[in-house]
A and B are shown apart, each in its own frame.
Chain A
Amino acid sequence: MTELPGNALALLTLGAIAGTYIWRWAGVMFAARVKSDGPVFQWVTFVSYAMLGGLIARMVILPIGPLMETPLLFRALAFVIGLGMFFALGRRVLPAVFIGVASFIFLVS
C-alpha cells in the first residue's frame, strides 16, 4: 500500500499508462490495416468488458478501503437506485448518479 517507495509507485503508474497507451498507439499504427471486427478483436472486447463488469461488482459488493466501513445493504441499495434511475429517466447519466450518490449519503449519515 502506502509503504511502497515513491519510485515504485511512479513505475507502477507509468507502467499502467504505457499499458493503456499501447492500444491507442496500435490503433494509429494499424488503423488502415486492422480489421477491428475480426474474431480476435471481438474476443478482446469481450474480455475487456467482462473485466469491467467484474470490477464494478467487486467494488460494490467487496470494496477495498473506506467503503468497507459501510453496510453492504446500503451500497447495494444505492447502486440499484442509481442504475434504476438511469433507465427510468431515459438514460440520463448525471441525474441518475446524483440521485444514487445522494441516496447513499442519506443512508450512511
Chain B
Amino acid sequence: MISDARTVTRLAIRDAVGFPSITLLASMTGFGSLVHESGLPLVMAIAATAGIWGLPGQLALVEMHVAGVSAFFVILAVSLANARFLPMVVSFMPLMNREGSRTRWNFALVQMLSINSWAAGLKRFPEIERNFRRRYYIVFAVICMSAGILGTVIGYLGVGLMPRPIALGLIFMNPLFFAVLLAGIQSRASMIALIVGAPLGVIFHLVTPDLDLLLTGAVGGTLAFWLNKRLPHRESTQ
C-alpha cells in the first residue's frame, strides 16, 4: 500500500506521461485541426476541449454546428452523447474518496475525469492508501488535460501550415481515433449499440439531418438495448 505523497505524485506522473498524454495530444491535435478547418475560433476549440473533455461530444458539437443544426438540438445531442460520464463518475467517486467525505471539491474535480483518468484510477487505487488517492487523480488528470489543451492549440495553429494531404489526414484522424478508442472498450453491450447505431447514423442523416443523431440514439439505442436482452449471453454485459 503506497502511503506517502512523493511516491504517489511520482507514480501519477509516470502513469500519465506516456500513453495517455500522447493519445490525448494526438487526438486533440485532430480536433484542433477540425475546428480550424470548420472556420471556428481558437477559443471555442480550447473551451470545448477543457469544458466538454471528451472527444465524442466535442466532435458532435463542431460537426453538428457546421452542418447547420439548430443550437437546441446540438446541445441535446452533445449532452446525450456524453451520458456515459454518469456511470463513470458513480463508479469512480466512492473509490477515490475517503468514506463520508463529500466535499464541494468533488464537483470541480469531476470535470477532469476522462476515460484515461478513470481507467488509471480504477487500476491504481487499490495500491494507494485512501488519503492519497485524490492526489494521484489530480496529478494524473492535470497532466492529461494539459496535453489535451496543448494538442488542441497545436492542431488549430498547425493545420494551416501543413500541406493539404497532411491537413486532411489530421481531420481524418478524428473519426478513426474515435472508432479505435471505442473499439477498445471490451463490453458486449457497447459493441452492440455501436454496430446498430452506425448504419442508422448514415440513414437518418440522409432523411433528417437536423435530428439524425438524436433519432439514431433513440431508435438505435432502444433496438440495441432489446437485442442485448434477446441475444444469448456468453459473458456478462458490462
Interface residues of A (CB under 8 A from B): 1-2, 6, 8-28, 30-32, 34, 36-37, 41-62, 64-67, 69-70, 75, 78-79, 82-83, 86-87, 91, 93-94, 96-97, 100-102, 104-105, 108-109
Contact = CB atoms under 8 A, between A and B. Distances in A.
**Which 10 pairs from chain A and chain B are nearest by CB?**
A54-B201, A27-B89, A53-B197, A19-B79, A47-B221, A50-B220, A50-B197, A17-B51, A49-B193, A54-B216
Interface string B63-94: 10111100100111111111111111111111
A17 B11 CA distance: 31
Contacts of B120: none
15 contacts: A9-B41, A27-B87, A27-B89, A45-B193, A46-B193, A46-B228, A50-B196, A51-B217, A54-B212, A62-B202, A62-B205, A94-B22, A97-B180, A104-B172, A105-B169
Nearest to B182: A52
Given A59-B59, A59-B174, 4 more contacts: A20-B57, A34-B86, A51-B80, A57-B202
Interface stretch (B129-137, B138-146, B160-168): B160-168
A107 to B, nearest CB: 9
Centre residue among A16, A21, A50 by max chain B CB count within 10 A: A50
A10 B44 CA distance: 7
B57 A49 contact: no
B220 A51 contact: yes
B189 A16 contact: no
B179 A79 contact: yes
B47 A23 contact: no
B123 to A, nearest CB: 16
A60 B201 CA distance: 11
Given A13-B44, A108-B169, A56 B198 contact: yes
B119 interface: no
B111 to A, nearest CB: 6
B128 to A, nearest CB: 19
Interface residues of B, number: 108
A89 to B, nearest CB: 11
A78 B180 CA distance: 13
A16 B61 contact: yes
A56 B178 CA distance: 7
Contacts of B212: 54, 58
B165 A19 contact: no
Nearest to A54: B201
Interface string B164-191: 1111111111111111111110000110
Contacts of A13: 44, 47-48, 51, 61
Contact of A34 (B26, B66, B90, B111): B90
B85 A20 contact: yes
B172 A101 contact: yes
